[in-house]
Structure 1
Amino acid sequence: MSLATIDRAPLAPVSPAPAPAPAPSQPGDSRRLRAVPTGTEARGFVLYVGIDEAKAAAAGTDLGALVEQLKALVGDLAPAAETYAAVALAPVGAGGRDVDVVRLALQDPAALAQHRHTEEAPSPKHRTGVVIDISRKRVVLDGDPAALTYKEFELLQYLVLREGRTIERAEIIASLWSAGDDEIPNERTIDVHVRRLRAKLGDYEDIVRTVRGVGYRFDRHADVSIRQASTPSPDFF
């Protein structure tokens, strides 16, 4: 029995569907470099690599080999790219993170700004306490004179000379203000005078304590020094 031969027409090759073209970048596209402001274009980038010769040697390479391999990688990914390498030098034993030293040595604007801010930042104030100088009518806070008015110093002095005793507002007014004064506070506005005094005492404001419903009291701390006058104060009798 003979087998019938069935002719089969060759199948036409099927071309794969063309891949969709990538959508053009939009201004809000996440692929756009965020560091590039509107109206400008990116012309390249800087990659800071922080590694010293000892660390490179420990990894089985050296700085020159790293540079050449990175340049070769860029050439493979983007043949039209131009590359330039610079080595950052720093004094031996300078310390700090390698990448921070590199950024500073190569004049990275952000690193320069941070370095400038660090240099200009004031050092913490050395606390030496409060000196209440009755004889010279002045208060010194951590070595700097406080800008108290005459009446503010009188108020503080009145409390200091009666240390530990709570002074009523009416007594303060009667003792520190006279009928000839331009403005005589009442028991409510005396709180304003105390608040201003405390503000000028800064970190030491709590040496003037409020006794709720009564008045004010001076509390001496270990960091408070009082220099008495050689003669009794005229307001202490």
Structure 2
Amino acid sequence: MTQSITVGLTETITKLVMEELDKAGLAPIAEPGRHVPVGVSARHVHVNREHLDILFGPGYELTIFKDISQPGQFAANEQVTLVGPKGRIEKVRILGPLRKDTQVEVAPSDARRLGVDPPVRQSGVHPGTPGITLIGPKGTVVIEQGCIIAERHIHMTPDDAAAFGVQNGQKVQVKIEGQRGGLMDEVMIRVRDDFALDMHIDTDDGNAFGLKTGDMLEIIK
């Protein structure tokens, strides 16, 4: 058996073994300082106090559906309908806690369905973004700005950033393995003491690369 055939056979066997270990939950832990877990984020809404009162009634408080990756943040039971110039999307979940400004985060495919043209933005950066209508069980809110496509980003603590050798605000590439793998560009590093290590992408990116929440991806600087 030639060397090239032997190497190819070894690689094939290794790949099959790793796939079976992964299915059984026994895959090796990703190498520290290189791999980061991904969270695929569906369309969602952040609301402020004023708008929550209008949508759900004065003094209403969000109730927790489940905790999400970042400490203190949660997916709420409460949902709203988004209405744009060309369509609507119902049952869009609110994320808590309350924010200073109401923000709507959609994927590009959602934007086309609604008939809006939001830019790719970091959370909280609203100047020049389109508005949209939110409908709740008690009332309707029309925001003049705040609809965005969220910038791909990775949350890190300062210790994480040191381990990865990156800085806050730096943009990196991320390598995706698998049949639909490739390189994902323009991924922003966000560093803060209270962050948990997690990469956030929208559902369009997740579908394009065949990713699911919890997959481990490699940072390429």
- Normalized against structure 2, the TM-score is what? 0.20
Higher helix share: 1
State the structure with more CA Rg: 1
TM-score, normalized by length of structure 1?
0.19
From the two aligned structures, give the one with the greater strand fraction: 2
